[in-house]
Amino acid sequence: MQIVMTGGSRGIGAEALRHLRAVPDARIWLGVRDATPAGVTGLPLDLASLASVHGFADAVIAALAGARIDALVLNAGGQRPSVAERSADGHELTFAANHLGHFLLFHRLAPHLADGARVVITSSGTHDPDERTGVPPPRHAEAQLLANPALDPALDANPITAGMRAYSASKLCNLMTARVAAQDAALAARGISVVAYDPGLTPGTGLVRQQMWVVRTLVWPLLPLLLPFGKTMNSLADAGRHLALLATQLRPPPGHSYASLRKGHLTWPEPSQLARDQAACAALWQDSLALCGLPMG
C-alpha cells in the first residue's frame, strides 16, 4: 500500500503514522522539514513554498516508479498569532501553508492515485459558526483576500483575532476543496473518495507551536485536564487512530464528505452553510488554481 502524507511528525499525524506503519506492505512517503520518523521515507517539503510543493510532488512521483497512491493524507497545519507573515510566494502564511500548499499537492498527485484510493484533508470545526469553538469563524472564503489580508475591508483590527480567523478560514478552504474534489465525476468513477476530517479540539498536538508564549506554555498544556469535560474534545490517540482509519479502511456514507470526531465517535454532519455554498466552493477552486499557477479548469 502506497501512502503519501503531510504532517506526520507530531501530534495527530504522528499518532496516525503509528497506525499506518502497521498496515501490511505499507510504503509511506512523508513530507518533512526536520528529522524523518522511523519506518517511513522522508522527502523535503515546505508547504508555504509552491516551489517546494512541486519539488516534493516530483520526488514522490519519481520514487513511486509507476506505482499508484492508495492513500493521500493532507494533514499538516498550523496557527499563527497574526496575519503579518508571508509565504515564499508572498501570500499570508497560514492560508498559504494550510490551504494553497495542500491544494497544489492534491492537483499534482491526483493523476497518480490508484483506483479506489482515499484522500483525507484535515479540516476543523472552527470553520462553522454554529460549533462555537471559541475561535473566530471565517467571514468568507475569498482566496484573493485571504492571500492578501490588507485588501480585506473586514480585516480584524486586533492582530490576534485576525490570526485566529485566518486559521478558521484556511480550514474552511480545506473543507471546500474536499467537497469540490468529492463531487468530481472522474474521481468518483474510479472509486476515489475524498473526505475532510475534523479531529475536534485535541490537546497534546503541535498546532499552536507558532502561537504567542502564553498560548504555547500556559493555555495549551492545561487542556488535557479538561478532556473529561469538553463536549468536542478528543484524545490524541482517538484523533490519530481515526485519521488512519479514514486513510485505510473507512469510506464516507453516500452524499457525505465531512467527517467530524466528537468524544471519540466519528460522525458525518452537514458542514457550515458557507461550506455548502456551491458558488463559493467553485470560486475558491478557480482562484486557488490561479494563485498556484495551475491551468484554469
What's the whole-model pTM score? Answer: 0.91
Nearest one of 29, 102, 99, 36 to 70, comparing CA atoms: 29
Domain limits, the chain: 2-291
| pLDDT for residue 213 | 46
Distance CA 294, CA 108 (A): 10
| pLDDT for residue 207 | 53
| pLDDT for residue 147 | 98
Distance CA 30, CA 146 (A): 27
The total of other beta-carbon atoms located within 10 Å of residue 39's CB is 13
CA atoms lying within 13 Å on the CB side of residue 262: 11
CB 115 within 8 A of CB 46: no
Alpha helices in the chain (DSSP H): 11-20, 50-64, 93-95, 101-109, 143-147, 159-182, 185-189, 213-214, 220-222, 236-248, 278-291
| pLDDT for residue 223 | 42
Total residue length of the chain:
297
Task: For domain 2-291, give the fold.
Answer: Rossmann fold (3.40.50)
| pLDDT for residue 104 | 98
Phi, psi of 283 (to 5 degrees): -65, -45
pLDDT averaged per 10 residues, the chain (length 297): 96 96 96 94 98 98 97 95 96 98 98 98 95 90 98 95 96 98 97 97 60 45 44 84 98 96 94 97 98 91
Exposed/middle/buried for 185, CB within 10 Å: 0-12, 13-18, 19+? exposed
| pLDDT for residue 296 | 85
| pLDDT for residue 215 | 43
Exposed/middle/buried for 125, CB within 10 Å: 0-12, 13-18, 19+? buried
| pLDDT for residue 263 | 87
| pLDDT for residue 231 | 57
